[in-house]
Structure 1
Amino acid sequence: MKKFEISKYSCKIAADLPKFNSGYFLKFKESKRFDLYIQYALIAAKLALRNSKLDLKKQDPFKIGVFISSGIGGVKTFEDELRKLDLQGPRKTSPFLIPSFITNMASGVVAIDLRAKGCNFCITSACASSTHSVGEGFNYIRNNLLNIALVGGSESSITELGFAGFCAMKTMSVGFNKNPKKSSRPFDSKRDGFVMGAGSVILILENYNLAKERNSIMYCELVSYSFNCDASHITTPDLSGLSLRTCITDCIERSGLTLNNIDYINAHGTSTVYNDIIESSCIQSLLRDNLKSSFISSTKSTTGHLLGSAGALEIAISALAIFKNIVPPTINYEYPDSSCSLFYTPNIFLKRELKTAININLGFGGHNAVILIKKI
């Protein structure tokens, strides 16, 4: 971690974007005006559209929605402007402070850029944020309120204040500062916290008939979405796992499938002590006799934890897993934990036919969100 002076921080590693250059995609004014989390979202949306080959000019703008979440928003802008206020007074405060700081602005700016005039809002539910955004986009299309939805999340919280806050909570890895590639190790007995990541993932959801009509590349079908709340603790998941189990069960029941139809589970798997134990227990109690037929992994072991953008990233990974019939691994799984006794696809990916996948995300505040997708 070389973004700022790190010597006084207990955690000294992060999964950042050190070579990020907005100049390839954004105008100079946009780069200067917007916080990084907004820039990331703008660029991710442009790349998603390029991949989809979707011409939005041929679509009804009121049937195009944007649902882009952020867990924290423009924290770097907040830091910079607070320093300026302290040193130079209120007259030097940027008029772009508030628009660049608030969490809904990535969604707004992407809509402005694309002239998307349909439903547009930001859900902030910590690390479940972008999973909720994907789910809401799905619901709006399913109910014929939209034909197209750009959904996902964006996060840029690797800053002095953001880092200090999570270090104070003792949620980030501190035992692998000299060996950062080994630091994110979900379900491993030597795990000691997550590795903060940054970036944006934007997915394009389309009405099936529209996508089929234009011969779109369809990576998967989004089948069902569920969400609820632990109502237990502000940061620690409910130790009983009741709400999480209910959320997973509801999602499967709404899909019309059964537990033995689930081929792959992309777990929240943060590499923190409590999350990994509680999530493993929930999955084990639900699958029971189907444990041998379902593959499980946490891809945060590879990407780090993108906070409010994590869900969208992991749904994208699950979609590609189904599309390419590859089970992503949980890397750095070296020392089994008796409290996490499932098969987590350790260290090496597997070639298997995958027809269905579940994505699980949890957020501070007790938020649970689950998405189920299947092969088309």
Structure 2
Amino acid sequence: MRRVAITGLGAVTPVGLDAPATWAALAAGRSGVRELETFDARTFPVRIAGQVTGFVPERVLPDARERRHLSRAALFALAAAHEALRDAGEGWQDIDPYRRGTAVGGTVGRPGLQELVDMSHLMETTGHRGMARQAPADVLLRDQNVGAAAVARAGGCQGPLISVSTACAGSAHAIGEAYRRIQDGECRLMVAGGFDALTTWMDVVGFSLLGAVTDRWNHAPHRASRPFDAQRSGFVLGEGAVMAVLEDWDTARARGARVHGELLGYGSTLNAYRITDSPPDGGGAIGAMQDALAESGLDPSAVDYVAAHGTGTPGNDASETLAIKKVFGTHAHALSVSSPKSMTGHLTSAAAGVNLLAALGALREGLVPPTVNLDHPDPRLDLDYVPNAARRRPVRAALVNAFAFGGTNASFVVGPGDALPGAPATPSS
């Protein structure tokens, strides 16, 4: 099996318009949750979200004719992909385009409220004849694969295009599948990550009806996302994109690329329990973590940080905590466990990409980002969740978790890239 290096990173998130700004905000514990501006939410039960601000689509794609085919979320993805490819440096362009691939997690688009009203009116007044008035570009705006194809085009990737729709685990599955393509030798480079923008009225209504999002903090948005806190009452919707360039290790080293880290192991499972709830006993999450660790060849005690899924829903946080304990045993209490969602909100298909940024930052700087708003410890949740302030500690390896509606789970292990998988871990100082 080939080793897989991470050589490029890009991000557009509620806390930063690029990867360095996003990491700086996570390390500082800054929240990007604010009042919704994508629609008039004054009469809605939830009026806040982790929202991207200051993003200028024209800078990403100056050609208006091309830009009209891409949704808000897809433009985030394209911006993150361009950044990741720039970050990967020079020389990757020499790789055979048919050995460059793309794997992207994204949510299938939905029409907006005004579009639904217009369509209904046309059908009532003209039958189906009036539907021809709908612009062809509108169809493409709602097609997940158009965003993925734009990312592939940015990297001149003519190899496999994998478009994954597994909700909150989307970017984790995309990164994992890209990892497999490079391991197996099918590709030498993959652009992988996720994008989403669940900041529409339909998303707010839908998740409110499910009881999944908190409606208690409209008056104080920055305090709303509270993973692992005793007063947690649901997650906060978010939007953004994170992309990474994954590369065959030997190829990256041959061209002198800077390596952010190394993917060491990947696991994916299904709970087969309920559509919306995590199993109380940790269920499929345990298997995903165990598989990722087993493939890495590392002893669980070599992992110092878990970038948790940590949504802020009562069931998920309890289930994930129990799963971590079962996987790591007594070492669980030596781990630092934190949730970037406490600052960004839940970026759904892009969420695991944010966790990857957090894990790589922790490996690089020996600084674990915090879980903010953890003001009231839950006696049932007794791990070290790094409450409210980042912590200095050496991080030898990190585990990234992503669990989704439908019961699908994905985990992967990342290391600094300075030792072969399975090599004895260096004791932390």
**Same fold per superposition (TM over 0.5):** yes
1:181–1:78: structure 2 CA closer, same or farther, 3 Å change rule? closer
State the match for 1:233 in structure 2. 274
SS in structure 2 of the partner of residue 122 of structure 1: strand
State the match for 1:40 in structure 2. 76
The separation in 2 between residues aligned to 1:280 and 1:21, in whole angstroms, is 39
> Structure 1, unaligned stretches of length 5 or more?
none
> Structure 2, unaligned stretches of length 5 or more?
1-35, 123-129, 418-429
The separation in 1 between residues aligned to 2:265 and 2:351, in whole angstroms, is 19
Letter in 1 for 2:38: K
Counterparts of 1:107-256 in structure 2, within 5 Å, are 107-256=148-297
The separation in 2 between residues aligned to 1:292 and 1:366, in whole angstroms, is 26
Cα deviation, residue 80, structure 1: 4.6
The separation in 2 between residues aligned to 1:121 and 1:81, in whole angstroms, is 29
SS in structure 1 of the partner of residue 394 of structure 2: coil
SS in structure 2 of the partner of residue 8 of structure 1: coil
State the match for 1:84 in structure 2. 118
Identical amino acids, percent of aligned pairs: 28
SS in structure 2 of the partner of residue 14 of structure 1: strand
Cα deviation, residue 7, structure 1: 2.4
Query: 83-92 or 12-21, which moves further after superposition?
Result: 83-92
What is the aligned counterpart of 1:64 among 92, 100, 109? 100
The separation in 1 between residues aligned to 2:71 and 2:82, in whole angstroms, is 17
The separation in 2 between residues aligned to 1:367 and 1:361, in whole angstroms, is 9
The separation in 2 between residues aligned to 1:79 and 1:43, in whole angstroms, is 26
Deviation track 1:228-259 (CA, whole Å, cap 9, x = no partner) reads 10001111111222221122112111111122
State the match for 1:24 in structure 2. 59
Cα deviation, residue 289, structure 1: 1.6
The separation in 2 between residues aligned to 1:261 and 1:113, in whole angstroms, is 37
1:234–1:53: structure 2 CA closer, same or farther, 3 Å change rule? same
Is contact 1:147-1:206 (8 Å) kept? yes
Q: TM-score, normalised by structure 2?
A: 0.84
Cα deviation, residue 312, structure 1: 1.4
1:179–1:78: structure 2 CA closer, same or farther, 3 Å change rule? closer
State the match for 2:45 in structure 1. 10
State the match for 2:27 in structure 1. none
Query: 278-287 or 354-363, which moves further after superposition?
Result: 278-287
Is contact 1:74-1:156 (8 Å) kept? no
Is contact 2:81-2:154 (8 Å) kept? no
RMSD value, Cα:
1.5
Is contact 2:182-2:248 (8 Å) kept? yes
Cα deviation, residue 322, structure 1: 0.6
1:295–1:151: structure 2 CA closer, same or farther, 3 Å change rule? same
Cα deviation, residue 55, structure 1: 4.3
Q: TM-score, normalised by structure 1?
A: 0.96
Deviation track 1:51-85 (CA, whole Å, cap 9, x = no partner) reads 11144432200000011111x2333x554533332
Is contact 1:64-1:147 (8 Å) kept? yes
Letter in 2 for 1:9: F
SS in structure 2 of the partner of residue 231 of structure 1: coil
What is the aligned counterpart of 1:98 among 129, 135, 139? 139
Letter in 2 for 1:315: L
- Where does structure 1 differ by over 4 angstroms across 4 or more consecutive aligned residues? 77-80
Is contact 2:307-2:338 (8 Å) kept? yes
The separation in 1 between residues aligned to 2:117 and 2:103, in whole angstroms, is 32
Query: 209-218 or 299-308, which moves further after superposition?
Result: 209-218
The separation in 2 between residues aligned to 1:133 and 1:78, in whole angstroms, is 27
Deviation track 1:150-207 (CA, whole Å, cap 9, x = no partner) reads 0000101211111111111111111111011110110000111111111111100011
Query: 80-89 or 162-171, which moves further after superposition?
Result: 80-89
State the match for 2:424 in structure 1. none
Is contact 1:73-1:156 (8 Å) kept? no
Is contact 2:82-2:154 (8 Å) kept? no
The separation in 2 between residues aligned to 1:319 and 1:87, in whole angstroms, is 50
What is the aligned counterpart of 2:355 among 307, 314, 320? 314
Counterparts of 1:223-372 in structure 2, within 5 Å, are 223-372=264-413
The separation in 2 between residues aligned to 1:333 and 1:37, in whole angstroms, is 30
The separation in 2 between residues aligned to 1:97 and 1:239, in whole angstroms, is 42
The separation in 2 between residues aligned to 1:80 and 1:53, in whole angstroms, is 43
Is contact 2:281-2:322 (8 Å) kept? no
The separation in 1 between residues aligned to 2:90 and 2:51, in whole angstroms, is 30
The separation in 2 between residues aligned to 1:106 and 1:2, in whole angstroms, is 23
1:80–1:211: structure 2 CA closer, same or farther, 3 Å change rule? farther
Letter in 1 for 2:118: K
The separation in 2 between residues aligned to 1:116 and 1:323, in whole angstroms, is 29
Would you say how many aligned residue pairs link Structure 1 and Structure 2? 374
SS in structure 1 of the partner of residue 212 of structure 2: coil
Is contact 1:73-1:155 (8 Å) kept? no
Deviation track 1:247-287 (CA, whole Å, cap 9, x = no partner) reads 21121111111221111001100001100011111112332
The separation in 2 between residues aligned to 1:250 and 1:327, in whole angstroms, is 24
Cα deviation, residue 214, structure 1: 1.8
The separation in 2 between residues aligned to 1:17 and 1:345, in whole angstroms, is 25
Cα deviation, residue 36, structure 1: 1.0
